[in-house]
Amino acid sequence: NEKRAKDAGIEYSVWTEEFKSNDRSLAEGEEIGKIKMILDEKGKPLGIQILGPRAGDLLSEWVAVLNGGVKLSSLASAVHPYPTLSEINKRVVGNYYSGKIFSEKVKKTLKFFFHFKGRACG
């Protein structure tokens, strides 16, 4: 958890997603809940915390990720049936990757090579 990472002097980032943003949660009226992903500075998962309905079911994917058997990027690109609560796992990882994909460095590179001038390239 965050306290352990801080106590160990590990640089980390925290990424969250609320259950209320998940269509299955909304359909079942179980909108209260949250998933919190803790990553080190290189993007390696240090921990995951899930509070909400069926949290135990959501943890199965994370066990594989935390044990090193599945890459975080694989979870981000997983295809889940729709609508399922497990989409929230994909979404919290997507939050992390979208920051990298749409970073200022990437925008500048696109501008340089392709002369993009749209809103996405700032």
Averages of pLDDT over runs of 10 residues in the chain (122 residues) are 92 96 94 96 95 94 93 92 93 90 79 69 56
In this predicted structure, what is the pLDDT of residue 118?
Answer: 61
In this predicted structure, what is the pLDDT of residue 69?
Answer: 87
Type of residue numbered 86: S
| Paired tokens of 59 | 């943890």
In this predicted structure, what is the pLDDT of residue 121?
Answer: 56
In the DSSP assignment, the letter for residue 68 is T
Q: Could you tell me where the beta strands, DSSP code E, fall in the chain?
A: 12-18, 34-40, 45-51
Cα dihedral angle (60, 66, 69, 72), rounded to 10 degrees? 90
Question: Domain 2-121 falls in which CATH fold?
Answer: Enolase-like; domain 1 (3.30.390)
